[in-house]
Structure 1
Amino acid sequence: LDEIEKAHPDVYNILLQVLEEGRLTDTTGRTVDFCNTVLIMTSNLGTEDITKNTGLGFAAANQSMDIESIRERLMSELKRSFKPEFLNRVDDIVVFHPLEREHTREILDIFLEDLQTRFRGGKTKLELTPGAKDFLLEKGFDQVYGARPLKRILQKHLEDPLADEVLKGKILEGAKIKVDLSDTETLTFEIEKGEKAEKEVAAEVN
């Protein structure tokens, strides 16, 4: 349940029954069993205030509040927004640590691995230089929204240009592509033809 603080009050009443009894009965008498269900709720309560005071994001290394202080402030915000009977039925509340550069780099690697799998069925190899990765991280990280914009930046600066190169016939199956950062702060593609591409060229010559 995303951003549970925005839910209608009736939703909380329904959740109280689910969290207390492990089942839900509607107005017609039908009952749904929730005994083997894990309910996960997310909330953004307090994050804006904490961001202003700690510099969430890459500046987290210099933050003036430790995680325990952050947790205390978030718990105070939760208690102001939710009724005690609701919070008392929640088994645990997890406060996520602010993202740091190494975390976003790991997220970028996951996105790139997914792109590698999707790009021409995974038969075309992508290799990004550290400079290219730093460029994407710088463009794709926001102190408020974290790494959420990263996918959009990948689409704009990497996926779409690669798709254009494929449409132009410059990237064939099995090719190796080295992605680097130019002096003009744009990504460049160095394309090495793969074995299949070489065979196709040889066939055309013959």
Structure 2
Amino acid sequence: GADPLRKNEMGHTPLDYAREGEVKSLLKASETKFQEEQRRREVEERRRFPLEQRLKEHIIGQESAIATVGAAIRRKENGWYDEEHPLVFLFLGSSGIGKTELAKQTAKYLHKDVKKGFIRLDMSEFQERHEVAKFIGSPPGYVGHEEGGQLTKKLRQCPNAVVLFDEVDKAHPDVLTIMLQLFDEGRLTDGKGKTIDCKDAIFIMTSNVASDEIAQHALQLRQEAAEMSKKRIAENLEDVQMTDKITISKQFKEKVIRPILKAHFRRDEFLGRINEIVYFLPFCHSELIQLVNKELNFWAKKAKARHNITLLWDREVMDVLADGYNLHYGARSIKHEVERRVVNQLAAAYEQDLLPRGCTLRITVEDSDKQLLKTKDSSSPGAEKTKMPTLRLEIVEKGSKSRKLDIQAPLNPENITYFL
């Protein structure tokens, strides 16, 4: 049947327009029945398709972070939470590792396609004391008083939104003072003196504080796990996979991370209002391969849609591109590596009219480790590796024959010599 909760452009439901009497009673009964049916469907959907499973479709790796957020959201959805206080998360980890994406996907899950359900504030815009007014709005008599604050205005429109405070470590201490009341009591007073109740909101802060310590600790744990797995039976696959599944110890959190957070935020009461501190770890090799494959698939779809070109590659290509991973830039370093080593060649070949429409292209590796081992065995014993693996494009012709493209690069940035 029809949705009795559907709102018009003014934000009103059919019940708002009904007068007292039989029609209003029928609409009320219909709303109640519809809400119960909707809740039943949502519970069934959550049971069949858990939140963690949905998040893993969009986020590579970070299983511990996904599990922590998923458990907290599940408590809230099923009524096992303190309704007097909002949920507050602090996401810690290096740049480009999935912190913002996890916040976005959480908002998408809770609010579907409602844009007002996700509020993102870049806290680097609130580094000065006077910029606090932009946060909650200017007091009466000041410029911009009627406009309201960036946060208060949006929270009034959607009090149960997912609010992302991106790079919270860059905000002025006065902004953090305002957050104390927001996180503790779930309410915020704007510049006009009006109070906004947002106890149902979810607040997520991201920060790069202690990211180097977390990354180095995770790498050390992986190295220790790899050494342990080598000592055990090689056929035991579970032991091999343990190098990917590591967790941050409680001792490391208390003795290393907490003092760093306390020194930066300078207040225990602020850290005490955070429900969960979520740790994002560097990607392992198998996750890097997934990232490379995802990025190559992205460009393969563009090549097919824009130029009707089919793009192919193998595992060796992904291994070479995965070597471009930078611990400090996360997934962005993989994106830039693919653009630099693959997309640049595609653009140059297209500009030089080397790509017939509808052709099939294969990305290949030259001077790879496998090829160098073969040449080393067939040549003199003293032969050593002198070249880095390079990626080349070749056209796959009829009969599975291939022809390498001779792409004339005007200038290769890596080979330019600068004279001072």
Aligned pairs for 1:21-60 within 5 A = 21-52=185-216, 54=217, 56=219
Identity over aligned residues, as a percent? 30
Specify the alignment match of 1:89 in structure 2.
273
Q: Is the 8 A contact 1:55 1:143 kept in 2?
A: no
What is the alpha-carbon distance in structure 2 between the residues aligned to residue 63 and residue 98 of structure 1? 15
Q: Is the 8 A contact 1:132 1:181 kept in 2?
A: yes
Specify the alignment match of 1:158 in structure 2.
342
Specify the alignment match of 1:202 in structure 2.
none
Amino acid at match of 1:188: R
What is the number of equivalent residue pairs in this alignment? 190
Aligned pairs for 1:1-206 within 5 A = 1-52=165-216, 54=217, 56=219, 61-63=222-224, 67-68=248-249, 69-72=251-254, 73-82=256-265, 83-121=267-305, 123-139=308-324, 141-183=325-367, 185-192=389-396
Q: Is the 8 A contact 1:180 1:188 kept in 2?
A: yes
Once the two structures are TM-superposed, the CA of residue 114 in structure 1 deviates from its matched residue by: 1.7
Once the two structures are TM-superposed, the CA of residue 94 in structure 1 deviates from its matched residue by: 0.8
SS in structure 2 opposite 1:177? Answer: strand
What is the alpha-carbon distance in structure 2 between the residues aligned to residue 144 and residue 17 of structure 1? 34
Specify the alignment match of 1:199 in structure 2.
none
CA-based RMSD: 2.8
Distance change in 2, residues 1:113/1:38 (3 Å): farther
1:4-56 superposed Cα distances (whole Å, 9 cap, x missing partner): 2221112212222222233322222345553443222112222323545x473
Q: Is the 8 A contact 1:179 1:189 kept in 2?
A: yes
1:31-88 superposed Cα distances (whole Å, 9 cap, x missing partner): 5553443222112222323545x473xx652159962144332233223333222122
1:90-143 superposed Cα distances (whole Å, 9 cap, x missing partner): 12111123321111111112212222222241743222222221111112x123
Q: Is the 8 A contact 1:108 1:137 kept in 2?
A: yes
SS in structure 2 opposite 1:41? Answer: strand
Once the two structures are TM-superposed, the CA of residue 158 in structure 1 deviates from its matched residue by: 0.9
Amino acid at match of 2:169: E
SS in structure 2 opposite 1:67? Answer: coil
SS in structure 2 opposite 1:39? Answer: strand
Unaligned ranges ≥5, structure 2: 1-164, 226-245, 368-386, 399-420
Q: Is the 8 A contact 1:60 1:100 kept in 2?
A: no
What is the alpha-carbon distance in structure 2 between the residues aligned to residue 181 and residue 111 of structure 1? 18
Once the two structures are TM-superposed, the CA of residue 193 in structure 1 deviates from its matched residue by: 6.1
TM-score (norm 1): 0.77
Amino acid at match of 1:27: G
SS in structure 1 opposite 2:169? Answer: helix
Unaligned ranges ≥5, structure 1: 195-206
Once the two structures are TM-superposed, the CA of residue 171 in structure 1 deviates from its matched residue by: 2.2
Runs of 4+, deviation exceeding 6 Å: none
TM-score (norm 2): 0.41
Q: After the TM superposition, which of the residue ranges 97-106 and 28-37 deviates more from structure 2?
A: 28-37
